[in-house]
Amino acid sequence: MVNEKTMFQAGYYTFHEDEGLNFQLNRFYTYGVFSKEELMDIGKRIDSFEKWISLFVETGAKAEQDNEPLKAATCYRAAQFYTLSGQKDENGNSLKHVLYDKCMKYYNEYYEGLPYLKLTRIPYKDYELPVYHALCENPLGTIVIHGGYDSIAQDLLAMIPYFYEKSYSVYYFEGPGQGEPLMQYDARMTPEWEHCTGAVLDHFDLKDVTLIGVSLGGYLATRAAAYDKRISRLVMYDLIYDFYGAILNKMGSFGRFFDYLTRHPKNVSWRWLNKKFDQNYFTKWLLLQGYSIYEDVHTPCEYFNHIRKYNTREISKLITQDTLVLAGAADIYTVFYQDQIDALVNAKSVTGRLFTKDENADHHCQVGNMGLLLETIADWIREKTDGKEESA
């Protein structure tokens, strides 16, 4: 049974030399699923993405036997995360779907221990959106949360007990391109996030809400808030001012040439570049993720041109709400931190928080100090509402 007191561990460690793998391992530590010693041992044993998958499947099976549903769920989710889209298991089934079903089985078993957490599936287009919610009898207000690029709700459901224990009614939904809508209905993500957010607000008759968008959700939530004024407070957790631009910036001097190529899809250099992408597991995985998440994206050039749409340059001027802009000093998106602050010219108020290495919170989405992150958001909501937020 889940412990209702959400406990996060602080600290960001070097569990693996690969930056991306190390970030994921630190997520498992931050949420208290694994100890530091366990992750140090796991990190030493991983020498490839294939080894990551097999090791976490093996560790998940052991957690099943030991009756540790959260650890089992986390392991199968870890394996599922880095599985290539289209990869098959020994029975010819989609391995990504098989591992998703296994992780969901144990996540559901674990979260059944929260008696106040309910799941409602609401109609949207020709499928349904899952909405997890915990409702207080006399709430201080209403918080709505959603994830980002390739998230599933269970990655972040630990946020619900934290805010619920502070007397807020909390809703967490998955939209197109995420979790259940993607895996069960093949519903693809589009930039127009106001539509699915509006469907959630409509169904539960919510207004005067605080909307928190996580990771790429920093763009998605901003898009929703730009066009739906039932959202009174916006939290960019973290900011995504320019998804494409941040990736270009990380490329250094190659970025200028790569930008030229994305604008010239028939350039002969794509033949060489596509082969390079396919030869590297990480870039192959990244692109296949994009092909499965986004609508009508089938090539590297189409992928990078599509993510240009995920920027808040134009819509930032439409934000009239109180806005909290969060960023980690080591995050690639932080290069646009001041641009995002400056672009919110019509916001009711703008508060920025740049988390540092000394706080163990300088990485993407403050992995390393989730407790500090959630405390920062809660304090800001209370400051902006003085406990008088209108409840639905």
User: Does a structural domain hold residue 12?
Assistant: no
Q: At what angle do helices 36-45 and 49-65 cross, to 10 degrees?
A: 140
Same domain, 320 and 380: yes
Q: Structural domain tally of the chain?
A: 3
Last residue of a domain, one of 293, 308, 323: 308
DSSP state string for 134-176: E--SS-SEEEEEE--TT--GGGTTTHHHHHHTTTEEEEEE--T
Q: Can you read off the two tokens belonging to residue 102?
A: 């296994």
Q: Are 329 and 355 in contact (CB under 8 A)?
A: yes
Pairing verdict, β 118-124 and 127-134: antiparallel
Domain range for 297: 244-308
User: Does a structural domain hold residue 1?
Assistant: no
Q: Which residues pair with 354 in a beta bridge?
A: 327
User: Does a structural domain hold residue 64?
Assistant: yes
pLDDT for 26 equals 97
Same domain, 205 and 347: yes
Last residue of a domain, one of 308, 336, 359: 308
pLDDT for 2 equals 43
Same domain, 167 and 205: yes
Residues of the chain with pLDDT under 50: 1-6, 389-392
Same domain, 54 and 123: no
Same domain, 179 and 259: no
pLDDT for 89 equals 86
pLDDT for 327 equals 98
DSSP state string for 212-280: EEETTHHHHHHHHHHH-TTEEEEEEES--SBHHHHHHHHTTTHHHHHHHHHT-TT-THHHHHHHHHHHS
User: Does a structural domain hold residue 11?
Assistant: no
Upstream peptide bond of 296 is cis (omega within 30 degrees of 0) = no
Same domain, 344 and 324: yes
Same domain, 237 and 248: no
Domain containing residue 158: CATH number: 3.40.50.1820
Same domain, 90 and 148: no
Q: Are 223 and 197 in contact (CB under 8 A)?
A: no
Same domain, 154 and 48: no
The pLDDT tens digits for 205-232 are 999 999 999 999 999 999 999 999 999 9
User: Does a structural domain hold residue 131?
Assistant: yes
Last residue of a domain, one of 308, 334, 354: 308
pLDDT for 90 equals 86
User: Does a structural domain hold residue 5?
Assistant: no
Same domain, 214 and 353: yes
Q: Which residue, among 72, 63, 134, 66, has the nearest Cα to 101 in the 3D structure?
A: 72
Q: Which residues pair with 213 in a beta bridge?
A: 146, 236
Same domain, 301 and 188: no
User: Does a structural domain hold residue 303?
Assistant: yes
**How is residue 323 annotated by DSSP?**
E
Q: What is the side-by-side order of every strand in the sheet holding 349-355? A: 118-124, 127-134, 168-173, 141-146, 209-214, 231-237, 322-328, 349-355
User: Does a structural domain hold residue 42?
Assistant: yes
Which backbone phi and psi does 26 adopt, to 5 degrees? -70, -30
pLDDT for 387 equals 52
Same domain, 356 and 370: yes
pLDDT for 390 equals 43
